[in-house]
Structure 1
Amino acid sequence: MELKDRKEGQVLIVKPMGKRLDASVAVEFKEKMAKLIKEGNELIVLDLSEVDFMDSSGLGAIISSLKALGGKGELAISGIQEIVLQLFRLTRMDQIFRIFKDEKDAVSALSK
C-alpha cells in the first residue's frame, strides 16, 4: 500500500492511496506508520479520503499506530467516508480518535 506523506508545520499528514485498508495491506500499513512515528513524528493526521473499505485488520493497524505514539502525540482522522465512519462508530473508535471533516480542520486542531 502506498502512503503519501507531507509535513505542514509540526503535523505530518499521511494519506493511504489504496481504496481498501484491509487484511491484505494492514501489516504493510502498520510497518510504514511505525517507521514514520520512529522518525519523530508525533502529530499525525491520517487522511482516509481515498479509503472506501476497511475491515477489522485495517482498523487494528490504525489502533497500533496510535499505540506506537505511546501517549506522546496524537493521531487524528480526516476525510473519512461514511461507510468507514460506520465501522468507527460500531467499534466506538469514534470516541478514541478525533475525527475531522477535512484535512485542514484536523491540521488546525493538532497545531494548537
Structure 2
Amino acid sequence: MSLTSTVTGDAQIITVNADRIDAAMAIQFKEDMRSETDGGPERVILDLSGVSFIDSSGLGAIVASMKQLGGARRLDLAGLTPVVEKVFRLTRMDTVFNLFPSLDDALTEDAG
C-alpha cells in the first residue's frame, strides 16, 4: 500500500495512494500507518480522496490506526468519496471520526 506523508503547520497529512482499502490491504495499511505516524504532530489527517472502495477490514484498519496514535493524538478523515462516506455513516463511524469534505476543509477547520 502506498502512503505519502507531509507535515503542514500542526498537522500531519497522510494521503492514501490506492483506490481501495480492503481485506487484502488492511494489514499492510496498519503497518504503514504505524510507521508513518510514529511521533509527529498530535493531529493526523488521513486523505482518502483517492479511495473509491472500503470494506469492513479497511474500516477496522483505520480504527486500529486511530487507536495506535494514543489518547493525546487524533485522526481526522478528509476527502471521502460518496461510497466511502456511506460506509462510515452506516457503521456510525462518523460519530468516532471528524469527517471533512476535502483536505482543504480539514486544514482550515480549527477542530482543536
- Moved segments of 4+, more than 4 Å: none
| Equivalent runs, 1:1-112 vs 2, <5 Å | 1-109=1-109, 112=112
Percent identity over paired residues: 42
- Structure 1, unpaired ranges of 5+: none
- Structure 2, unpaired ranges of 5+: none
Per-residue Cα deviation, 1:14-42 (whole angstroms, up to 9, x for no partner): 11111010011111110111112223342
Alignment length (residue pairs): 112
**Using the alignment, how far apart are the partners of 1:40 and 1:81 within structure 2?**
27
**Using the alignment, how far apart are the partners of 2:10 and 2:97 within structure 1?**
19
Normalising to structure 1: TM-score of the pair? 0.92
CA 1:88–1:111 in structure 2 vs 1: closer, same or farther (change >3 Å)? Answer: closer
